[in-house]
Structure 1
């Protein structure tokens, strides 16, 4: 199968969208499929982004910064999209968190008669509220309903998101979750030297991982850090970093971490807190659970599917999050061993190969019967 992935965000940006696309690309290569990525270039003021990823061609489109909309560069679709897609001749187009570039992608695919699978991954109406954008939630929903209505299938990452999309009259919505690397993110990555560096007085370590941007609401940790009972560690970078460092002078800010360093950071925490409610899935919560961390998150969005209250962590009402956070942390640190074991067990069966095989099933479901028969014949001819 030939799969063209139109990604609203991709490397060098590191976030939930780009990480998911990377995992899908790895699985496509491993299972013998061809792939093409169409993604934003870096802004004109920065070095050009790579045109190849792990042997896979990445076609870049111009990007622009829209600070009032997002901290990430947005790709601007061009007429060349049709030519690029026609040249690759995909069986299916995967739209990763489609917005501006994704809209161009779905229009080009429809013009060429190629089926599309749109992965809804960003709570844009919620983000708009966080950034103070005058665009109303109703207008945002109307735009994305139109965009996803052009796709043959929309995939929602959590039950809460799926319910929201159905309530907003999005058509053809199906569930597709996210995988987690349970070998990399594991309790065995715990680093005592790192813990001593972060918390020389031996205070429990409460951590956050993610972009430091308005929609993540990291400012909800300010009171916890000021209380002095725990050591707060913030892993990540973004436009809010300077402001947050000024507000939390006792917190440790590591900057963005990746790979084994990130895994060690997770595992070296005692409790993980994700304070933002605008998450369609929340991959960092899943990585924290795999690392054996009890999790505190808002009782909203994707974390509802991931955190089992009083077993793997706690879900707090959004309007009470800051006031209830210190007591929640105290409870989880006092019973950490029990929660940690249950946290790890809760995600063991969610490997990326399993999740990506489900995605291939969604791809095949939107193909025409003729194309499906062609692909089956090809697999038989190859002895697969």
Structure 2
């Protein structure tokens, strides 16, 4: 099949969507499919990624709330690209305006909406959850729910990476939901990459001895990631036992997070490690991964930690929780720094090395593309 992914939140500077896209461009052709990513950017351009894989950029405005991203602003130009590509299957990988643009395209190809984001958890529930119940918040955000319900009826599938998100969408009247879990990059992550020397150097950067616990935190420096809460939890837990926290990330909240760290020598905020092999060694060398976001649709870094034999400390809501199951980590009450501190203490004391059974992205794409092929085999008319 020729699969076109209309990917509104692809950024060459990183993020979970970029990691997913890069693996799709690699694995898709290996499975016999042609993969075309259509993404907004500063200029019209095409980047070839080898046989059967390329990225088509459409000149678009920068996203005002995060200048690392762009947004599609011309339906006609996007539809013209889809017409020219003549795909067998089309994906929209953002639930916002681009989903409506793909739904409005009059072509005959079947299409899916892939939920790489959980906007209600990331924004509405986070903003108003301390005051109102979710039922009240859902009523106040009924326009967004209706947007999802309306578009879901125009897509063959609404693909979720975890069953909890699919259930919430289904309970909210979103049609055609399907759960197809993601996975980790095959052959990249392993407990065999644990490096005692690297671990010692990271703890030394935190001004701590090798006997201390090394925590790792990875992700965009954005409000929904709740890094200040993670910092508070680590500070509280470290009153009982020496703990160093190395954070890898960048984003618009960097200055605020540095102020929150407030010069604590045991917490270091470093730039993201873009070399995947080196990152895999860093991850395997940690004693635990700590994460703060309850709005993850999958939480790739937690899956990578599990594949590295590293326990996770994650909230009890969202996709990250899946990776703490079967003794692979510790969960805490979402948004609660005291509960997170308790879970961090438990991880620091026990330091388990969980089993490394982990689903791979090969398995994810095999299941995803098989679902698409079965849908494409059913004749349909253009809109």
Query: Which bracket does the TM-score occupy, shorter chain normalised?
Result: 0.7 to 0.9
1:47-81, CA deviations, whole angstroms, 9 ceiling, x for partnerless residues? x5862141333222233344458963333243122
**Among candidates 335, 340, 350, match of residue 335 of structure 1:** 350
Structure 2 residue aligned with 1:39: 39
- The answer to whether the Cα contact below 8 Å between 1:234 and 1:254 also exists between their aligned partners in 2 is yes
Report the alpha carbon displacement of residue 368 of structure 1 after superposing the two structures with TM.
4.1
Report the alpha carbon displacement of residue 182 of structure 1 after superposing the two structures with TM.
4.6
Query: Within 2, Cα distance between the matches of 1:198 and 1:267?
Result: 12
Structure 2 residue aligned with 1:190: 194
**Among candidates 106, 115, 118, match of residue 120 of structure 1:** 115
Structure 1 residue aligned with 2:83: 86
**Among candidates 279, 294, 314, match of residue 277 of structure 1:** 294
1:312 equivalent to 2:307? Answer no
- In the alignment, structure 2 segments of 5+ residues that lack a partner are 129-136
Question: How do residues 1-384 of structure 1 correspond to structure 2 at under 5 angstroms?
Answer: 1-42=1-42, 48=43, 51-55=46-50, 56-68=53-65, 72-108=69-105, 111-129=106-124, 136-200=140-204, 201-202=209-210, 203-227=212-236, 228=238, 229-248=242-261, 249=263, 250=265, 251-258=267-274, 259-308=276-325, 311-319=327-335, 321-336=336-351, 339-342=352-355, 344-345=356-357, 347=358, 350-369=359-378
Query: Within 2, Cα distance between the matches of 1:93 and 1:128?
Result: 27
Query: Within 2, Cα distance between the matches of 1:72 and 1:219?
Result: 24
Using the size of structure 1 for normalisation, the TM-score is 0.85
CA RMSD of aligned residues (A): 2.5
Query: Within 1, Cα distance between the matches of 2:282 and 2:45?
Result: 28
Report the alpha carbon displacement of residue 190 of structure 1 after superposing the two structures with TM.
2.1
Query: Within 2, Cα distance between the matches of 1:130 and 1:242?
Result: 25
1:315-370, CA deviations, whole angstroms, 9 ceiling, x for partnerless residues? 11125x3102233222222222xx3233x23x1xx122121110111111221435
Using the size of structure 2 for normalisation, the TM-score is 0.85
Distance 1:162-1:363 versus aligned 2 partners, 3 A rule: same
Distance 1:24-1:182 versus aligned 2 partners, 3 A rule: closer
- The answer to whether the Cα contact below 8 Å between 2:221 and 2:254 also exists between their aligned partners in 1 is yes
Query: Within 1, Cα distance between the matches of 2:30 and 2:44?
Result: 24
Report the alpha carbon displacement of residue 3 of structure 1 after superposing the two structures with TM.
1.1
Distance 1:334-1:50 versus aligned 2 partners, 3 A rule: farther
Report the alpha carbon displacement of residue 7 of structure 1 after superposing the two structures with TM.
0.8
Report the alpha carbon displacement of residue 12 of structure 1 after superposing the two structures with TM.
0.4
- The answer to whether the Cα contact below 8 Å between 2:221 and 2:251 also exists between their aligned partners in 1 is yes
Report the alpha carbon displacement of residue 194 of structure 1 after superposing the two structures with TM.
2.5
- The answer to whether the Cα contact below 8 Å between 2:39 and 2:56 also exists between their aligned partners in 1 is yes
- The answer to whether the Cα contact below 8 Å between 2:249 and 2:272 also exists between their aligned partners in 1 is yes
Distance 1:130-1:61 versus aligned 2 partners, 3 A rule: farther
1:223-256, CA deviations, whole angstroms, 9 ceiling, x for partnerless residues? 2443442001101111111211221123111211
Alignment coverage as a number of residue pairs: 356
Structure 1 residue aligned with 2:134: none
Tell me which moved more, 164-173 or 179-188: 179-188
Q: Secondary structure at the match of 1:38?
A: strand
